């Protein structure tokens, strides 16, 4: 490691004794300024922080019983790891959302090996899904669990991609309405049909299942149409939960998303997945385990922990030093927000004081007011 350069004039510095603390002092021969070499350990500290976050270690297990670790790693909680832009198309992409409370959800997209993108929003809707998908090249097949707004976002952002609805979630939705021990014969038969979805492996079996479902609907149509009156006198369906279960399966059949994995046009991609177990078990389960191991984090830090995990499992994460230079922080985002919205915020807050002066009357480019008498 060579001698440092002068921070004043940029010339090479030479050793000039030591300080009281024993550190080597350097002096510039040109301008005479002196300084000591400052060793930047932020990249090393970031690697230590990530090693702790992605492991099951407790803070008390770190050097200094956690105090030194918290002091050195506190600045890294301000960083927001941003997802990369995926320009190489994938054959199959899995999408799902992990909820944190009632007002925060992180939408995640992944392939068989890596996390491809993530997006933070308040709820699953088409705008959030579109924001996630816009940075990822359109795949041939996308597998989802039926999140709200996803079909609309898919038609808008990836119009040529084929959609496979996770058959396990389709079965689970029916089970939620019928329970595993239905009390009616119609419910028992529908539960058996939904459970049979999990074992379909050929197109012929899929066609037979669809025929059996239509036959069940016709056979129990009068039963499902029965109505009853409530205590308030309203007329409602007597078997509303069974009707909802039937409707959930009929909607998937009509949309053509239940047996995409058996589509003959996609034989070149076979075998295609019928469920999104890859993202449920390979990503979401590990994220929940990480949050459970580091329980006690605030909602903001839990979100950033998810972002860090996703980024470190993306296709090509940057080295620690590059991350510190490239990724935005709370401070940089706040500065951009204040710079772009300063005028709007002032104009929005001043009128609440009453008869206030317009902002532009107090902020002019001329050095003096030219409209005074």
pLDDT at 345 (0 to 100): 54
Strand, coil or helix: 336: helix
Q: Which long-range contacts (CB under 8 A, 24 or more apart) does 3-7 make?
A: 4/35, 4/37, 6/30, 6/31, 6/33, 6/35, 7/33, 7/35
Based on the fold, state whether residues 302 and 155 are members of the same structural domain.
yes
Indicate whether 293 and 157 sit together in one domain. yes
pLDDT value, residue 9:
83
For residue 232, give both structure tokens. Answer: 């308030």
- Full-model pTM: 0.80
69 and 209 inside one domain: no
> For position 344, what pLDDT does the model report?
61
**Which of these three, 328, 345, 361, is where a domain ends?**
328
280 and 319 both lie in a single domain: yes
Q: Do both 243 and 285 map to the same domain?
A: no
Predicted confidence at residue 368, as pLDDT, reads 45
200/254 same-domain check? yes
Within a domain: residue 338? no
Whether the bond into 356 is cis, omega within 30 of 0: no
The confidence score (pLDDT) of residue 352 equals: 40
Model confidence pLDDT, tens digit, residues 39-71: 778 999 999 999 999 998 888 887 777 888 888
My answer on whether 219 and 100 are in the same domain is: no
Could you give the number of structural domains in the chain? 4
Give the 3-state secondary structure of residue 163: strand
Report the alpha-carbon distance of residue 321 to residue 342 in Å, rounded.
32
pLDDT at residue 171, rounded to an integer = 95
Q: Does any domain span residue 35?
A: yes
Residue 342: inside a domain: no
| Same domain, yes or no: 159 and 90 | yes
**How confident is the model at residue 371, as a pLDDT?**
42
Residue 65, phi-psi category: left (phi > 0), alpha (psi -120 to 50), beta (remainder): left
Predicted local distance difference test score (pLDDT) of residue 89: 93
Say yes or no: 237 and 285 in one domain: no
For residue 4, what are the domain limits? Answer: 1-39
- Of the candidates 286, 273, 281, which has an alpha carbon nearest to the alpha carbon of residue 166? 273
Q: Is 139 among the domain residues? A: yes
Mean pLDDT, the chain, as a whole number?
86
Low-confidence spans in the chain with pLDDT less than 70: 1, 340-373
What distance in Å separates the CA atoms of residue 152 and residue 150, rounded to the nearest whole number?
A: 5
Element (H, E) at 43: helix 42-53
For the chain, how far is it from start to end, CA to CA, in angstroms? 67
**Cα(203)–Cα(276) distance, integer angstroms:** 20
Asked whether residue 356 is domain-assigned, the answer is no
- Output the pLDDT for position 257: 93
- The reported pLDDT for the residue numbered 354 is 35
Q: What pLDDT is stored for residue 63 in this prediction? A: 73
> Is the separation of the CB atoms in 32 and 8 below 8 Å?
no
Distance CA 133, CA 125 (A): 12
Domain ends where: 59, 78, 97? 78
Sequential DSSP letters for 86-144:
B-S--SEEEEEEEE-SSS-EEEEEE-SSSEEEEEEESS--HHHHHHHHTTB---SEEEE
What pLDDT shows up at residue 92? 96
* Closest to 172 in 3D by CA, of 278, 288, 277: 277
What's the sign of the alpha-carbon dihedral 128, 132, 137, 142? Answer: negative
Is the residue at 343 inside a domain?
no
């Amino acid at each position: 490691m060579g001698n440092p350069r002068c921070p004043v004039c940029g010339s090479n510095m030479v050793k000039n004794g030591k300080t009281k603390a024993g550190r080597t002092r350097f002096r510039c021969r040109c301008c005479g300024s002196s300084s000591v070499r400052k060793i930047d350990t932020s990249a090393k500290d970031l690697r230590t922080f990530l090693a702790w976050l992605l492991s099951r270690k407790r803070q008390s297990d770190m050097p200094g019983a956690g105090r030194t670790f918290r002091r050195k790693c506190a600045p890294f909680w301000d960083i927001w790891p941003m997802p990369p832009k995926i320009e190489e198309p994938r054959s199959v992409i899995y999408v799902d959302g992990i909820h944190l409370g009632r007002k925060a959800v992180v939408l995640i997209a992944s392939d068989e090996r890596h996390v491809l993108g993530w997006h933070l929003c308040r709820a699953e809707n088409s705008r959030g899904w579109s924001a996630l998908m816009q940075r990822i090249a359109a795949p041939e097949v996308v597998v989802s669990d039926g999140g709200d707004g996803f079909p609309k976002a898919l038609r808008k952002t990836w119009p040529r991609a084929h959609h496979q609805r996770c058959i396990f979630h389709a079965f689970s939705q029916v089970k939620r309405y019928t329970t595993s021990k239905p009390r009616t014969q119609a419910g028992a038969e529908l539960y058996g049909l939904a459970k049979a979805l999990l074992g379909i492996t050929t197109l012929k079996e899929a066609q037979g299942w669809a025929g059996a479902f239509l036959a069940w609907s016709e056979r129990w149509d009068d039963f499902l149409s029965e109505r009853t009156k409530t205590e308030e006198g309203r007329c409602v369906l007597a078997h509303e939960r069974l009707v909802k279960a039937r409707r959930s399966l009929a909607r998937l059949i009509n949309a053509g998303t239940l047996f995409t994995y058996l589509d003959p046009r996609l034989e070149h991609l076979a075998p295609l997945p019928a469920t999104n177990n890859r993202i449920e078990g390979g990503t979401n389960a590990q994220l929940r385990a990480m949050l459970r191991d580091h329980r006690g984090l605030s909602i903001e830090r839990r979100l950033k922990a998810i972002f860090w995990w996703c980024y470190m499992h993306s296709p090509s994460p940057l080295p620690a030093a590059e991350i510190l230079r490239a990724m935005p922080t709370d401070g940089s985002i706040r500065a951009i927000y204040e710079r772009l919205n300063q005028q709007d915020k002032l104009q929005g807050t001043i009128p609440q004081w009453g008869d206030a002066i317009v902002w532009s009357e107090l902020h002019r480019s001329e050095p003096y007011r030219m409209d005074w008498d």
